[in-house]
Structure 1
């Protein structure tokens, strides 16, 4: 995983292997407290994996780029759903917001690259087909 346009030496990388989650950050200040953890909250009904918490997100300063990658379970897709209809969703406090995402069918991962921090701390891979992707 790499953030296009950034030197790898400028990118802080975090993984939560047991949950299949990765994050990369380019920021002026990345605190030691930043990282990934399993979320204690239930994910949205359209979730294709467990939800993840971005720990210490509010302490990031001068964020230039933020990339999230999550493994998802393709067998959890509804019958007839396209395997490309997967996205990362963030709980922004008012509900789940889908991020523009890219699916890697071979690796069964979904990723999103942002120019700032995400609008919330809880993230999950969701089925994004039709109207079922947001709650």
Structure 2
């Protein structure tokens, strides 16, 4: 997976195959211990995959771009939910915050592309109906 607009030789890639997670980052400093691991956190109610921790996120400096891609299970969507209402969500002090994301229905992945660090180091693919007009954020 390439971050659009960046030469692949400038992108550091980290993959955690057994949970279907990948992070690509373009930054001035990416520490050697940076990577991914399965999280011990409880997933949100509407999670469509297991949460993943981005390890040593706080040590990444001068971020130009970061792309987080997660595999999700579409069979876990609530009845009647649109398959495009899936987002990467980051765990913050206030709960799970959905990030602007793109869904690949064929690959059953959801991807968030950021120009900075995510608001939290634990991420998950989840159902997000925050654009349905009722103001509820389910993730």
2-side partners of 1:13 and 1:63: how far apart?
Answer: 14
Q: Does residue 55 of the first structure (1) align with residue 36 of the second (2)?
A: no
2-side partners of 1:2 and 1:82: how far apart?
Answer: 27
Divergent runs of 4+, >4 A: none
Q: Does residue 111 of the first structure (1) align with residue 114 of the second (2)?
A: no
Aligned residues: 134
Q: State TM-score, norm by structure 1.
A: 0.97
2-side partners of 1:117 and 1:21: how far apart?
Answer: 16
Instruction: Decide whether the 8 Å contact of 1:46 with 1:132 is kept in 2.
Output: no
- In structure 1, runs of 5+ residues without a counterpart are none
Instruction: Decide whether the 8 Å contact of 1:27 with 1:62 is kept in 2.
Output: yes
Kindly report the root-mean-square deviation, in angstroms, between the aligned alpha carbons of the 2 structures: 0.8
The match for 1:133 among 122, 130, 138 is: 138
The 5 A counterparts of 1:1-135 are: 1-129=1-129, 130=132, 131-134=136-139
Shift of 1:92: 1.4
2-side partners of 1:18 and 1:64: how far apart?
Answer: 28
1-side partners of 2:26 and 2:62: how far apart?
Answer: 8
1-side partners of 2:25 and 2:138: how far apart?
Answer: 26
1-side partners of 2:41 and 2:137: how far apart?
Answer: 20
Instruction: Decide whether the 8 Å contact of 1:98 with 1:133 is kept in 2.
Output: no
2-side partners of 1:117 and 1:132: how far apart?
Answer: 21
2-side partners of 1:79 and 1:119: how far apart?
Answer: 30
